[in-house]
Amino acid sequence: MLAARFYVETRFVHMAKNIPTTLPGTPPPEAAKTLLALLHAQGEVARLSEREQLFSSLLDSVNAVLWAFDWETRQVLYVSPAYERIFGRPVSLLLADYNEWRDSIYPDDLEFAERSLAQVLLKGAVEDREYRILNADGQLRWLSDKCYINQQHVGDRVIIVGIAEDITEKKQLEGELQRLATTDVLTQSSNRRHFFECAQQAFDSAREDGTPLAFLLLDIDDFKRINDSYGHQEGDQVLQHIADSGKAVLRRGDLFGRIGGEEFAAVFPGCNTQVAEQIAERLQRQIQRLSFIHGEQTYGVTVSQGLTGLTEEDVALDSLYARADAAMYQAKRQGKNQIVRG
Residue 186 corresponds to which amino acid? L
Give the CA radius of gyration of the chain. Answer: 36
What is the dihedral sign for C-alpha 316, 320, 321, 326?
positive
Closest CA to 115 of 99, 125, 104, 129: 129
The yes-or-no answer on residue 111 being catalytic is no
**Are 113 and 131 spatial neighbours (Cβ–Cβ below 8 Å)?**
yes
> Among the options 100, 165, 262, 277, which is catalytic?
262
Rounded to whole angstroms, what are the CA distances from 51 to 5, 252, 270?
15, 59, 65
* CB burial string 139-165: b at 16+ within 10 A, e below: eebbbbbbbbbeeeeeeeeebbbbbbb
What CA–CA distances, in Å, run from 204 to 107, 144, 196, 256? 32, 34, 12, 18
Rounded CA-CA distance 161/222 in Å is 66
Q: Which amino acid is at 56?
A: S
Q: Please identify every residue annotated as catalytic.
A: 262
